[in-house]
Structure 1
Amino acid sequence: MSMSPPIPASRPPSDISAGVGLCGVAGLLFWLMVCREWPAIVDAFGLPGPRAKLDGANAALLALLFSGVPMVLWSLLVDKVHRRPSTGIDWDNPKPLREIAQISITKIAGLWATWALIAFIYCLGRWYWRGPYLFAMDMLEIAGPVMIVLSVPYVLWLDRVLVEPRDGAWHFGAMLLGREPFSKAEVAHHLRGWAVKGFFCAFMISILPMGFMGVVAFDWNAAWHLGPVVMTNVMIETMFMIDVQIAMVGYLLTMKPLDAQIRTANPYLGGWVAALICYPPFILMGGGDVLDYRPHSAEWDYWLAGHTTLLWVWGATMVILTAIYAWATVAFGLRFSNLTYRGILTNGPYAFTRHPAYLSKNSFWWLTSMPYLATSGSMVDVIRNTVTLGLVSGVYYWRAKTEEKHLLAADAKYREYHAWMAEHGLITAPLTRLGRLLWARRSALAR
């Protein structure tokens, strides 16, 4: 299959509308306001309970409901995603329960075995039982029995309307039960998809409360009087909180009736390696790790101290970059997750560059850490930190390329989008032309 299709006349339409993510942000901001104003709400309505802001972990979990429900409603009522052929559902011709019962039993066996495997891996991983991960394990321990119980009616209901109910979970169940032929490719697809969910759900749940609690508890009335550094930091924390909340909803709602299922998980080893080294416990960028670019360095507020105007300008730039990063997640709506293909996104920040999150995140790191300056005064530290952060950026370039390889092979629409962006993308097109120029010069020198 050709990787260089004709360039379309216009940017291909997105599989995800902008309204989904915006509804989620609106619901999240409403809940944030409720949490912050809870003492006044208690007084106004004479409610029982403490007169304090709702800045605990449970409030952070409830925020998922307030952001997720509006996104689901928009998807169903406005975008009508449940009617798309890509769901694999035929709502108008449900099958009799007796016809799909045996299929559903096999599928449920596959699902339960998958969850048992994930739980076993959680038990083996020591990192899951300390620090923030303990909160994630507590929540998953509560959710586990609920998932087991609800999976039975859900699978029976869904299998009646699926055009082909024998999906990856069924093939995994068939492999384990040994009663029917199964596809190894379908089993591998199923396990990769759940590996993504198992790994990233635990991580996302573990970091969910921190940012939410900080944003709710912060005294916004005094923000402007606390100076550019404090204001910048809390705005950045707010952007990251929005990113985590919307992304968490995306990981949880990988459901076919919402057309948000994992269609394929990245099949390339390089893609997994590039992604996993950016997250604990495999992260290489933490303090003292191989790609730690912070030794003998200080951040932006140290180097710019005393220059108030510059602090405001520098801080505003960092906030804008973080906002673009959060926007890149919000644009996915219900379909955000790493290492997966869940539909093609071509609007929002993805209208300007194919990888706005990686571009904004790495630009943010270069601005905030300033590795080209060292508190030790040593040029060796300057060179070491600058090169190391350059390698970190290189990891994200690697991630981008492995994701493109996956999506180019998975969807003709992405191939059209990829080609269109190379010629017309506000950021991507100049970079593509620069790459072509450098390659041409290199080839000329090699002759």
Structure 2
Amino acid sequence: MYHDPALARETQSDPASDPRPKSAVSTGTGIAGLVGMGAWLAVARSYGLDGPYSALINLLACGIPMVLWAVIVDKVHRNPSTGIDWSAPKPLSDTLDISITKIAGLWLTWGGIAAIYAVCRFYWTGNFAFAMWCFQVAAPALFILSVPYVLWLDRRLIEPKDGAWHLGAWLLGNQPHDESAIHSHLRSWAVKGFFLAFMLAIVPPGFGGFIRASSDGILGNPIALANWLITGMFMIDVAFATVGYILTFRPLDSHIRSANPYMAGWAFALICYPPFILMGNGGPLDYHPGTSDWTHWLAGQTILLWITGAILVTLTAIYAWATLAFGFRFSNLTHRGIITHGPYSWTRHPAYLSKNLFWWLSTCPLLVTTGSIYDAVRATVLLACVSGVYYIRAKTEERHLGADPDYRAYSEWMERNAPVPRLVACITGRKFRPGYAGTAHSD
């Protein structure tokens, strides 16, 4: 592919001649979910509904409007990427054997995930106990409803022999199977099994904290207002992410196209989450000892507190927006369609960028309460390492998604037009490289 610098300059100044690649999710999908969530939050705040069941209703209030918008307005079920031919369902007799084999593969997968949960007692303590309760309640319906769902869907799939089928064929030993398809299937469900448990575990605390927060005098208190708004932004992020892990369905075109096949991608993602987290209290990358936060260092400086609080709220809003932009397709370590709108038209990694800027500004690692230069250097180096972890996560995502031509087109458009890549290129002197792979995925 030849790149003409003159043409690049023209397209930068004339967006109409260089349109942004279409996003896999419409802006309306996320807005619909946000409106539904806002309505339930108003009810919950009014009546003090701050419990875990109310938090689950919040997920429904977020997810149902998004599904309705996606199906009725966007008609995502008609997308060619679903792999579904709605016009010509096959006779059940033609796909019954395939469906039985696939159901065997699915049940084996779910049984394996359940066994891991049962063995790892970590999942039965603290907030994770709520996630396990949810799975226990949902499991019977999941197993039963999977039968009619698979029977119905396989009649309409253009190619019904997916990874679940290959796993079932391996289990039953009655058909040739593709090991690479099995590995891809297991990676996808490993992502869902690991991250959905984590997301469900943190749904009630964040929701309850936001609902219970007192509004008395909050508008005149920069710290209280900022903390409440930040809590709300994280609650939105978690709700949309949780809905994304739940609604992984091919008829909604939200299925997992592929899960990251690179070990480095998994390693650097998992160390950001329990039980593998390295940044937690006492962890190798815990940069907090000896430090304080922005409220300590700016105590008594009312104007600076307001300014800093506003910046931190804005950064958290961008972080939440980056998840909201996915609609119900958010998922770590996976490709579920390329997102090009919202903050992903500014930078390939809005969540990673805003999250790390938040940590640097809110912690100020060079300022320590001990007065020790060693502690200041240590905190700064460790926080730099944490940022490095997210940089590597971004690069492994780039490598994974770079196999998709749509993604490469988006990445090249970003190089030519997006503010952050162009700013970085200006600072570093890096020139545009055709075929450069960026990312439209976030955490």
Q: Is residue 363 of structure 2 the alignment partner of residue 354 of structure 1?
A: no
Give the corresponding residue for 2:413. 420
Q: CA deviation at 1:424?
A: 1.7
Q: Deviation per CA, 1:67-95, whole angstroms, max 9, x where unpaired?
A: 10000000001110000110000000001
> 1:82-121 alignment to 2 at 5 Å?
82-121=77-116
Task: String of CA shifts for 1:279-301, please: whole Å, max 9, x gaps.
Answer: 11111101111101111110110
Q: What residue is the counterpart of 2:363 in the other structure?
A: 369
**Residue 435 of structure 1: how far off its partner (Å):** 3.7
Q: Report whether the alignment pairs 1:172 with 2:145.
A: no
Q: Secondary structure at the match of 1:158?
A: helix
Once the two structures are TM-superposed, the CA of residue 222 in structure 1 deviates from its matched residue by 3.4
Give 1:221 shift.
4.7
Q: Which one-letter code corresponds to 2:61 in the other structure?
A: F
Residue 61 of structure 2 corresponds to residue 66 of structure 1 = yes
Q: Give the gaps of 5 or more residues in structure 1.
A: 39-52, 439-447
1:124 partnered with 2:116? no
- 1:210-261 C-alpha deviation (Å, 9 max, x unpaired): 1111111122253214x11111111000000000001110000010000000
In structure 1, what is the Cα distance between the partners aligned to 2:196 and 2:138?
Answer: 12
The aligned counterpart of 1:14 is: 23
Equivalent position amino acid for 1:216 in 2 = I
Matched, 1:315 2:309: yes
* Residues 1:383 and 2:377 aligned together: yes
Where does residue 204 of structure 1 map in the other structure?
A: 199
- Supply the AA of the counterpart residue of 1:416: A
Kindly indicate whether residue 161 of structure 2 is the aligned counterpart of residue 152 of structure 1: no
Partner letter of residue 306 of structure 2?
W
- Secondary structure of the corresponding residue to residue 335 of structure 1: coil
Per-residue Cα deviation, 1:75-119 (whole angstroms, up to 9, x for no partner): 001110000110000000001111111111111110000000001
Residues 302-350 of structure 1, C-alpha deviations (whole Å, 9 max, x = no match): 1100101110110010000000000000000011000000000011000
RMSD value, Cα: 1.8
Match of 2:241 in 1: 247
Cα offset for 1:15? 1.2
Letter of the 1:241 counterpart: M
Residue number in structure 2 paired with 1:33: 42
The answer as to whether partners of 1:3 and 1:415 remain within 8 angstroms in 2 is no
Does the 8 A contact of 1:54 with 1:216 survive in 2? yes
SS at match of 2:256: coil
Q: Which amino acid is 1:81 matched to?
A: V
Report the CA distance between 1:432 and its aligned residue. Answer: 3.0
Alpha-carbon distance between aligned partners in 2 of 1:423 and 1:69, rounded to the nearest angstrom: 37
Distance 2:261 2:2 in 1: 17
CA distance in 2, matches of 1:338, 1:4: 33
Instruction: Report how many residues are paired.
Output: 422
TM-fit CA distance, 1:434: 3.2
Distance 2:117 2:178 in 1: 27
Give the C-alpha shift of residue 436 in structure 1: 4.3
SS of the counterpart of 1:334? Answer: coil
Secondary structure of 2:282's aligned partner: coil
Partners of 1:228 and 1:188 lie apart in 2 by 50
SS in 1 for 2:332: coil
* Mapped contact 1:372–1:382 kept (Cα < 8 A): yes
Contact 1:249 1:334 in 2 (8 A): yes
Deviating above 4 A after TM superposition, structure 1's stretches of 4 or more consecutive aligned residues are 2-8
Q: Does 1:327 align with 2:336?
A: no
| Corresponding residue number in structure 2 for 1:288 | 282
User: In 1, Cα distance between the equivalents of 2:81 and 2:278?
Assistant: 38
Structure 1 residues 4, 325: CA separation in 2 closer, same or farther (over 3 Å shift)? farther
CA contact (8 A) 1:4 1:415 kept: no
Alignment pair present for 1:185 and 2:180: yes
Give me the whole-angstrom Cα distance separating, in 2, the residues matched to 1:189 and 1:140. Answer: 23
Deviation string for 1:141-163 (max 9, x for gaps)?
11111100110111111111111
Structure 1 position 391, deviation (Å): 0.7
The code of the aligned residue for 2:40 comes to W
CA distance in 2, matches of 1:297, 1:36: 34
For structure 2, the 5+ residue unaligned runs are 12-17, 432-443
1:302 paired residue among 296, 302, 307: 296
* Change in CA separation of 1:3 and 1:239 when aligned onto 2, cut-off 3 Å: farther
Three-state SS of the structure 2 residue aligned to 1:327 is: helix
1:402 to 396, 418, 426: 396
1:3 CA drift (Å): 13
Counterpart residue type for residue 326 of structure 1: A
| Deviation of the 1:166 alpha carbon | 0.7
The secondary structure found in structure 2 opposite 1:162 is coil
Structure 2 matches for 1:262-273, cutoff 5 A? 262-273=256-267
Deviation at 1:437, TM superposition (A): 4.7
Per the alignment, residue 435 of structure 2 pairs with none
